[in-house]
Chains A and B, each alone.
Chain A
Amino acid sequence: MIHENENLTPGEAREALDSVAKMEGAGWRRAVPERWFGAGIATLIGSMFAVYALQDPYPYIVFPIIGIPVLIAAGREKVGAYGRDFSDGKSNKWMLALFAAVLVVVFFGSIFIRRTYDAPWVSVITGLLVGLTVFLASEHERRAYIAKAGGGQG
């Protein structure tokens, strides 16, 4: 597939590189997550924590558990493309794994405190803080995509 005798002028090569840069920018622009998507995921994850403020949270925990994959699928279908930046690369995978581990510790920690001290507000505060953290992370990701797309969206 490599053609050794292809003749190309520097000008033609520059033209091809311009087209590459333009299409890469278009790819990034398509992948910019919408704000409602980040807010929706943040709300659902936060509610997973906050629902433990209730006496019997188990009938309600099913909503975020079902809602998160449904929202992710809906977001992808709506945009028709999604970026590889956050799920690819060793450092990104480690960051995601670390974040998930922290969430698990906070999750069980808040349940333990809520039950030990009978303090339902602990679950509510934890849910709010986790939801806010997820939303800020989604905004950070959104800005990173916009920067790579060359700006123009906000």
Chain B
Amino acid sequence: MTKARLNTVIHAPNRLQICAFLTPLQEAEFQVLRDELDVSDSVLSKHLKQLEEAGYVTFRKGAVNGRQRMWASLTKAGRKAFSAHVEELTRIAGVVSTPVN
């Protein structure tokens, strides 16, 4: 066991996956995120809300063909926190560090 400085908001598996998926993207639609994570709408909403409260994710709403759609993106603080978290994981895993976008 190694003492670690991990970001508890990001460390939960689903939130870690959300951040990882959003890292190379400007924005992703809610449904796309849900499909990639293979979780229900409510589970995804809960995790996104926690990331939003931490200031790591922002949302944009838009209507397409009369349907309301929500787009999520990582904030600058979110990218920084995720990058630091991955660095810490890399340190613990003892693998060679690779920069995170």
Contact = CB atoms under 8 A, between A and B. Distances in A.
B51 to A, nearest CB: 11
Contacts of B26: 82-84, 87-88
Interface residues of B, number: 37
Interface residues of A, number: 35
Contact of B8 (A3, A16, A81): A3
Interface of A: 1-10, 13-14, 16-17, 19-24, 26-28, 30-31, 77, 80-85, 87-88, 148
Nearest to A11: B93
Given A16-B16, A80-B31, A30 B36 contact: yes
Nearest to B18: A23
Contact of A81 (B2, B29, B94): B29
B58 interface: no
Contact of B3 (A5, A13, A20): A5
B9 A85 contact: no
A85 to B, nearest CB: 7
B20 to A, nearest CB: 4
Interface in B1-35: 1-9, 11, 13, 16-17, 20-29, 31-32
B92 interface: yes
24 contacts: A2-B5, A3-B6, A3-B8, A6-B5, A6-B6, A6-B11, A9-B92, A10-B2, A13-B93, A19-B20, A20-B89, A21-B20, A22-B20, A23-B16, A23-B36, A24-B21, A26-B36, A27-B24, A30-B32, A31-B24, A80-B29, A83-B24, A85-B24, A87-B26
